[in-house]
Amino acid sequence: MLTTTQPLVRSWLYVPGQRERMLQKSFELTADAIIYDLEDAVPIAEKQAARDLLAQYLTAPAAPGAPRRFVRLNHPSHADIFEADLACAVALSIEGIGLPKVETADEIHAVDAALTRHEQAAGAEPGSTRIMLLIESPLGLVNAYAIASASPRIVAVAFGAEDFSREMGLPLVKEAEAKDQLFARSTVAIAAAAAGVESIDIIWTDLNDVDGIAAEAAQARRLGYTGKAAIHPDQIAPINAAFSPSVDEVAYAREVLDVYNAAVAEGTGAINYKGAFLEEPVIARARHILALADRTT
């Protein structure tokens, strides 16, 4: 479940599991989390090679301050591949798994039980493997809250817009800042917030448009997302910047709290400060901004 004590996870970078050079480089990056991919980015013929590479590089604990580690598995409907992926992942020194294309809470329940079996077989602590999952279909979107709240293992819910757009028959070229996906993106962010877990916004596919990803990341934060997926190291910095409270935000939050606390000490009721009515929801948001700032350090 989402807490205010862990570092904020703003950037979630996908790294293909079979690309050894990318895997090596990932340890030096400033992403908050790395998702080592065994699914879409890895051809079927290279699945085992990818598992072997992950077993080679992810057996030692992560260094202090290093990105959090997840491994995205293939969907459980591919039973043999999924079981091999799961056995590999539980043996690694990672925080959890990524589960793609989730459509129902029952899928989460089944994976939770499978994780418990593999943890017991590997001698790992039951429940220690976390889940970040992807909602990538209309049915998944309809069931978003039920999915997001289906297991205490869940730490984050991501929206996968590419598969969703295909199933919805959306245009191949999306509008700027994914405006044609605003409802779907908002639904996932709201479901994650209601379930008390982190939310991960869609990937930005134009690797040459840094301004574009910065704008979309800023929009995602306004929608309530806590982070955004990345597919290239150059996307990490604009994502981290967008999901970190700015200097001005932090300064204003402190100013609002100072004014509010002084007014309370003087027994003042309603407080109007610079055109804003300082009631409890506003004060709570100011405290939230300061908590976010603490979690980015």
Candidates 295, 231, 239, 297; CA nearest to 26 is: 231
Q: Which residue has the tokens 């992403």?
A: 31
Q: Do β-strands 68-72 and 96-99 pair in parallel, antiparallel, or remain unpaired?
A: parallel
Which of residues 161 and 267 earns the better pLDDT score?
161
- Is 192's pLDDT higher than 60? yes
Per the CB < 8 A criterion, the answer to whether 40 and 191 are in contact is no
Q: Do β-strands 276-277 and 272-273 pair in parallel, antiparallel, or remain unpaired?
A: antiparallel
- Is 5's pLDDT higher than 90? no
Per the CB < 8 A criterion, the answer to whether 70 and 97 are in contact is yes
Cα angle at 131 between 129 and 135, to 5 degrees?
165
Q: Which residue has the tokens 């603490």?
A: 294
Mean pLDDT over the full length of the chain: 90
**Taking residues 131-144, what's their average pLDDT?**
98
Q: What does the longest C-alpha to C-alpha distance in the chain come to? A: 71
Confidence of residue 294 (pLDDT cuts 50, 70, 90): confident
79-94 confidence digits (pLDDT tens): 999 999 999 999 999 9
Confidence of residue 6 (pLDDT cuts 50, 70, 90): low
Buried b vs exposed e over 165-177: b needs ≥16 C-beta within 10 Å?
A: beeeebeeebeeb
Q: What residues does each domain of the chain span?
A: 11-242, 247-295
Confidence of residue 1 (pLDDT cuts 50, 70, 90): very low
- Is 271's pLDDT higher than 90? no
pTM for the model: 0.86
Confidence of residue 137 (pLDDT cuts 50, 70, 90): very high
Per-residue CA distances from 161 to 135, 137, 169 (Å): 9, 8, 12
Q: In terms of CATH, what superfamily is 11-242?
A: Phosphoenolpyruvate-binding domains (3.20.20.60)
Per the CB < 8 A criterion, the answer to whether 16 and 42 are in contact is yes
What is residue 3's predicted lDDT score, i.e. its pLDDT?
47
Per-residue CA distances from 230 to 14, 35, 200, 204 (Å): 6, 10, 10, 7
78, two tokens: 């591919």
